[in-house]
Structure 1
Amino acid sequence: MSKRNYNVFFNTHTVSGIVISVALYIIFFAGAFSLFKEEIEIWEAPKTETHSSKADFNVDGVLNHLDKKYSLTGRDIQLNLDVKGNTIYTFLGEVKDSTVAKKEVHGEFLYINTKTLEERTYEENYSLGEFLYRLHFFAQIPYIGVYLAGFVALFFLFAIVTGVIVHWKKIIPNFYHFNPKTALKRVWTDAHTALGIIGLPYQFIFAVTGAYFALSILVLLPANFLYGGDQDKLIGDMRPERKVIEWIGEKDHQQNAIHFNTALNQVSNTWENFHISQCFIKNYGGNNMQYVITGELEDKDRFVGIGRMIIDGYSGQILDQKIPNELDYLVDSQFVMSRLHFATYGGAPVKIIYFILALITCFVIITGVLIWIEARNKKSKTLRQRLYTTKVGHIYLAICLALFPVTALFFIIVKILPEVYQTQKMSILYTWFFGIWFILILYYRFKRNNYFTNKTTLLIGGILGFIVPVVSGLISNNWIWKTYANKQFEIFTIDVLWLFLSITALLIYFKIKPSIKEQSSYSKNPIDYKNLKTLLKQEENQTITNQNSQIKKDKNFIPMRTKVILLWTLLVIGFILHHVYGIANVYFQESLVLEGSNGEIPGWAHQWRIILEGMAFLFAVLTVSLSQNWFKWTSLIWACLLGLFNVYHFITALIYEPSNISEILILLLMAVANVILIKEILNWKSHQLSEE
């Protein structure tokens, strides 16, 4: 590989890795616990449930109970049976019958105990397992969280590919030359490369499947185009069980529907070792009511064994079926993605392997950040550049490493939480989990000591982790030896995981000695924070002197402030030209007088002229005499807002007025000028050059 290509791949790997590192760490750390979401929910329950097999579930009893309270007629109902314990997830769709009162039309999402028929809403049943699962794809960030996680996965894919290319020749040597006593950067580099390659297949799978699930809206765009925009047909082909069936009226009750348990038994008896996971009732109580029952074969029989049976709700006739031993590309490809991502194959051993690989990936992310910090702390760098790198490192490590003790703490809190607060976990977790995490982030950020951050988070997390199984034993009498003897393996697994994490964290804590800190470039080339202002001023004066000497040699030099003024003025001229082209458009294409006009210019037209032309001209004038930092920030914010407007205006002109070439050209030039203006204001803000 040529040196140029190597540098391109190396820089791509570094930049993509650094940009996503914090988000990626959170995804993998929370994702590691998400693998055991159901086990965590059973572990944190105040009372230990006695498990029943799915065959013992009286689904008809559940449906009768719900019908009395929520009037199920005309609804689509979804039942998720693929859970551990006696609780099933139930979604009641909106009532399709337009004659039903509006108060009964809305949908319901409920958790129901099949033994006691106790109901809980989503908020009341919220758990730490659910919280960590949703943190895994940033669902706590409204609207954009899942898409943010998807783009992080996409960039992670770039980082993986470029990382393999960059480190390919060093993979084998790094396994044999690994020596913790060498330079600290070398230790991190070797560990980063070696462990990154060990987890490579796992990381690649997660990058691809994570991007697929989180950016499914983009994945479906080409398919939607092929279906001519008919989304119902698209969903019907990809996920037949979710196909919407039109409501055609309520059924005459002279013909009774078959029991839902009868339909479940019919499916179970049709295919051996078939595990029912989801059930759908389409148009409950309607003329065309259908039971849709889906599931899969056991892992030992087939890796991809999705089965589905659609049964008429009255006659029991099989309307359609997918035999689990036969492959269907559209359905089974999605199932493979799901299995690979959520480790729903191979049982607990595969989940444990995924868990360990997720934590290894977290270590790879941290070492990548540390390598970047060490590499950029050179004497050849300016103090301002070194401060920026150091600040980023402190923030990144504070966010990532503080997550471990906070998670351990809340495993304890949800267990000792009084029963009266058990239904308020959602608000408690949102407020206190993020609140305590934020406080720790601020503390470690301003402590400015990555060695201290690493040591204390490992120590606190390790100690709290040991307390987790102890609290479980004291509160619920679920001691490890009892849960194992009683075959309560979900509770046993969570306790053992925390013991494993705690032992590992404390072993690493005792292995990290002060001598390791001394190997860091920040120990050899420290930043004097006490005299920071003086040093920065000296560096700034030296920079000004050097730049002024270069300015004198450059006859074409234009001061930054003058550039900003010129660019503001160019935007004003651009707006005026845009209006001129608009007048030409009126002459050649449209009526001179708009319909409904009375000869007076409306107030909104003046407001737009003031906001666009007037404000741009005002900033040009004020830049002549103002250079304070607040004014630079104000100019930057307004330039960014104006830039968004210009880009939006250019795009809409391309879409709706493609024939108006002159207007499109001037809008493009304005957008380019706006981008340059933002760049120059940023330069002006970061450099205190003497104005000439």
Structure 2
Amino acid sequence: MKATTLRIFLSVHTWVGLASGMLLFIAFYAGAITVFVHELQGWERAPQATPSHAEAMDVSQALVERVLREQPKAAEGLTLVLPGDHGPRPSAYWYETATDTQHKFVFRDDGELEQMPGRSGFVQFIYDLHFTAGLPRTWGTYLFGVVSILYGLALVSGVVIYAPVFLKDLFALRVGRNIKRLWQDAHNVVGVLSLPFHVIFAWSGAVLTIGFLMLAPFQFLVFDNRLMTVLEQDFEIAPHVEPAGVARPFLPVADLVRRVETALPGMTAESLFYHDAGDANAQVTAYGEAPQRRLNGFGGVAVNAVTGEVIAAVGPKDFPPGMSMLRGLQTLHYGNFGGFAVKWLYFLLGLAGAFLFYSGNLLWIEARRKRRQVEQPGQTRFVAGLTIGVCLGCIAGISAVFLVAALLPGVSIAGSYAVVFLAAIAWAFLRPPARAAHELLWLCALLTAAIPVAGWIGSGEHLFAALWNGHWHRALTDATALAMALAFQRMAAATLRRGREGDPHSVWSLQ
């Protein structure tokens, strides 16, 4: 390959990575945690007894009836989330189109109906942070769609740059006085060895965030504004039937669940979507897991809510090609296959991806430092401060979110994250980069180490009690937090050591 061509790819890789790297750090660090989105449900409060199947059905039925009685408009489209992976208590969601608002309803401990924001709780916040970076949901999602495309471009250019020395440097990790070489080797090794997963994340990230926007040229130029009509059958289990305008009582939740699980053997219903509840033509569509040795383990059954007649039953192998591909991408993106082994693999890959983008920015800084003067260029100090503030502010902010959820349940989760995140960025610019990195890493270590303590106070169950009681999710969460806190502490010590003993001609020097 010509040297000029290689330089072009290097320039593309550098600037695309710099433009999207810090947002991708947030996406990967938050994404690593949201792999365990179900396991983290209820971590911040006392363990709740799992109700029996009969009790769960009775409470779910009471919740549906209460919501429809107090919120008649919810009959147009109400989603009931059954007890299980999403928590021991049922919840109901209603999306109000007129105000673009999602309403969530649950029963309080005293049996009264409580209305909550549609997307509430610290787990849901971290989940949203993964693809919005804390920005308003719509704009953040679109931004990450663009970032996913830039991410793909960075992957392609990185492979082209690394290809000439692929075999020679694949497992090279040259430890020595040349810190830039060490970071370069680590960056390359992590990027190449996890390349297949990064291709999946970039592709699926773009499709899941701006997939509909990517269809726009086909919608207007090829299908004459009828593409959504063509695709409708791919997105619905059964076609919608207009309401008859005649009131009819619908079947109990327990009966509906029994019918749908009989119609699709092996499926465990997780949610029921009521369409026109209380009408003679009311339909209920049940969704749930139906493992069938396929990447897509998702199934759905549509029944008449009044008669219980099965309208359609679609298992994983029965989905049309478009929906099969979409479900497959979702499964690949979130690691919802292969059990806990894959979840832990995705967790480690998420942390490795965050390191990849953090190290990319450090390499940019190292490549532009002045080697014969102590004072470094302003742009180098700016990127160093921004990188430290955004990346370490994200880590500290997410750890703070755990603490607030357990200790201050009435305090805004989003507000708490924003305060810590923005304060970290401000601190990174007020202090010398090396000093700021050392101090913010210590902040990350302390906040992360406090997670098990906060969980103990909030739930009344410490790490060893969780192990003794067989609450493995809580025990593994606390143990992982302690391990990560130790890692941050070691990184803080290494940063301080380099600042004192390393090359003085660097923004990371304290000399």
TM over 0.5: yes
Please say if 1:279 is aligned against 2:272.
Answer: yes
Give the Cα–Cα distance (whole angstroms) in 1 for the partners of residues 280 and 507 of structure 2: 80
User: What does residue range 129-528 of structure 1 map to in structure 2 within 5 Å?
Assistant: 129-138=123-132, 140-142=134-136, 143-222=138-217, 224-225=219-220, 227-230=223-226, 233-234=229-230, 236-241=232-237, 244-251=240-247, 253=248, 256-298=249-291, 301-378=293-370, 386-417=377-408, 422=409, 424-425=410-411, 428-449=412-433, 451-512=434-495, 514-515=497-498, 518-520=501-503, 522-523=505-506
The one-letter code of the counterpart of 1:64 is E
Q: CA distance change for structure 1 residues 107 and 467 in 2, over 3 Å: closer, same or farther?
A: closer
The one-letter code of the counterpart of 1:262 is D
Q: CA distance change for structure 1 residues 480 and 235 in 2, over 3 Å: closer, same or farther?
A: farther
The one-letter code of the counterpart of 1:31 is G
Deviation at 1:380, TM superposition (A): 9.6
- Any idea what SS the aligned residue of 1:37 has? coil
Deviation at 1:498, TM superposition (A): 0.5
State the number of aligned residues: 506
Contact 2:301/2:310 (8 A) holds in 1: yes
Q: CA distance change for structure 1 residues 2 and 309 in 2, over 3 Å: closer, same or farther?
A: same
- Any idea what SS the aligned residue of 1:182 has? coil
Q: CA distance change for structure 1 residues 224 and 490 in 2, over 3 Å: closer, same or farther?
A: farther
The one-letter code of the counterpart of 1:303 is L
Coordinate RMSD, CA, aligned: 3.2
Partner of 1:87: 89
Give the Cα–Cα distance (whole angstroms) in 2 for the partners of residues 472 and 74 of structure 1: 38
Partner of 1:6: 6
Contact 2:264/2:301 (8 A) holds in 1: no
Give the Cα–Cα distance (whole angstroms) in 1 for the partners of residues 95 and 143 of structure 2: 29
Give the Cα–Cα distance (whole angstroms) in 1 for the partners of residues 169 and 499 of structure 2: 20
Contact 1:86/1:113 (8 A) holds in 2: no
The one-letter code of the counterpart of 1:88 is P
Q: CA distance change for structure 1 residues 133 and 230 in 2, over 3 Å: closer, same or farther?
A: same
Residue deviations 1:571-608 (CA, integer Å, cap 9, x gap): xxxxxxxxxxxxxxxxxxxxxxxxxxxxxxxxxxxxxx
- Any idea what SS the aligned residue of 2:15 has? helix
Give the Cα–Cα distance (whole angstroms) in 1 for the partners of residues 507 and 114 of structure 2: 59
Q: CA distance change for structure 1 residues 241 and 107 in 2, over 3 Å: closer, same or farther?
A: farther
Q: CA distance change for structure 1 residues 485 and 510 in 2, over 3 Å: closer, same or farther?
A: same
Q: CA distance change for structure 1 residues 17 and 229 in 2, over 3 Å: closer, same or farther?
A: same
Q: CA distance change for structure 1 residues 313 and 440 in 2, over 3 Å: closer, same or farther?
A: closer
* Farther off after superposition, 50-59 or 351-360: 50-59
Deviation at 1:124, TM superposition (A): 8.6
* Farther off after superposition, 106-115 or 501-510: 106-115
- Any idea what SS the aligned residue of 1:84 has? coil
Contact 1:296/1:324 (8 A) holds in 2: no
Partner of 1:638: none
Give the Cα–Cα distance (whole angstroms) in 2 for the partners of residues 240 and 328 of structure 1: 10
Partner of 1:601: none
Deviation at 1:265, TM superposition (A): 0.6
Give the Cα–Cα distance (whole angstroms) in 2 for the partners of residues 343 and 111 of structure 1: 29
The one-letter code of the counterpart of 1:229 is N
Contact 2:287/2:298 (8 A) holds in 1: yes
Give the Cα–Cα distance (whole angstroms) in 2 for the partners of residues 398 and 459 of structure 1: 13
The one-letter code of the counterpart of 1:282 is H
Q: CA distance change for structure 1 residues 520 and 229 in 2, over 3 Å: closer, same or farther?
A: farther
* Farther off after superposition, 329-338 or 59-68: 59-68
Please say if 1:110 is aligned against 2:94.
Answer: no
- Any idea what SS the aligned residue of 1:90 has? strand
Identity, in percent, stands at 21
Deviation at 1:126, TM superposition (A): 2.2
Residue deviations 1:541-597 (CA, integer Å, cap 9, x gap): xxxxxxxxxxxxxxxxxxxxxxxxxxxxxxxxxxxxxxxxxxxxxxxxxxxxxxxxx
Residue deviations 1:268-294 (CA, integer Å, cap 9, x gap): 233333122332122111131112122
Give the Cα–Cα distance (whole angstroms) in 1 for the partners of residues 48 and 508 of structure 2: 59
Q: CA distance change for structure 1 residues 22 and 267 in 2, over 3 Å: closer, same or farther?
A: same
Contact 1:34/1:133 (8 A) holds in 2: yes
Give the Cα–Cα distance (whole angstroms) in 2 for the partners of residues 416 and 351 of structure 1: 28
Partner of 2:115: 121
Contact 2:141/2:209 (8 A) holds in 1: yes
* Farther off after superposition, 199-208 or 70-79: 70-79
- Any idea what SS the aligned residue of 1:137 has? helix
* Farther off after superposition, 405-414 or 506-515: 506-515
The one-letter code of the counterpart of 1:387 is G
User: What does residue range 660-671 of structure 1 map to in structure 2 within 5 Å?
Assistant: none
Residue deviations 1:167-189 (CA, integer Å, cap 9, x gap): 12334433554222131111111
User: What does residue range 531-550 of structure 1 map to in structure 2 within 5 Å?
Assistant: none
Residue deviations 1:489-510 (CA, integer Å, cap 9, x gap): 3322321221221122233344
The one-letter code of the counterpart of 1:91 is Y
Contact 2:237/2:314 (8 A) holds in 1: no
Contact 1:404/1:457 (8 A) holds in 2: no
Give the Cα–Cα distance (whole angstroms) in 1 for the partners of residues 85 and 108 of structure 2: 12
The one-letter code of the counterpart of 2:87 is G
Give the Cα–Cα distance (whole angstroms) in 1 for the partners of residues 341 and 465 of structure 2: 21
Residue deviations 1:451-495 (CA, integer Å, cap 9, x gap): 323332332322332221123223422112222333323322321
Residue deviations 1:278-317 (CA, integer Å, cap 9, x gap): 3212211113111212223137x44324322221223322
Deviation at 1:93, TM superposition (A): 5.0
* Farther off after superposition, 475-484 or 203-212: 475-484
Give the Cα–Cα distance (whole angstroms) in 1 for the partners of residues 309 and 117 of structure 2: 39
Please say if 1:23 is aligned against 2:19.
Answer: no
Contact 2:57/2:253 (8 A) holds in 1: no
Deviation at 1:241, TM superposition (A): 4.3
Contact 1:179/1:187 (8 A) holds in 2: yes
Deviation at 1:391, TM superposition (A): 1.6
Please say if 1:64 is aligned against 2:58.
Answer: no
* Farther off after superposition, 3-12 or 197-206: 197-206
Q: Which runs of 5+ in 2 are unaligned?
A: none
Give the Cα–Cα distance (whole angstroms) in 2 for the partners of residues 479 and 265 of structure 1: 39
Deviation at 1:87, TM superposition (A): 3.0
Partner of 1:76: 77
The one-letter code of the counterpart of 1:202 is F
- Any idea what SS the aligned residue of 2:287 has? strand
Q: CA distance change for structure 1 residues 479 and 167 in 2, over 3 Å: closer, same or farther?
A: same
Structure-2-length-normalised TM-score: 0.88
Deviation at 1:404, TM superposition (A): 2.0
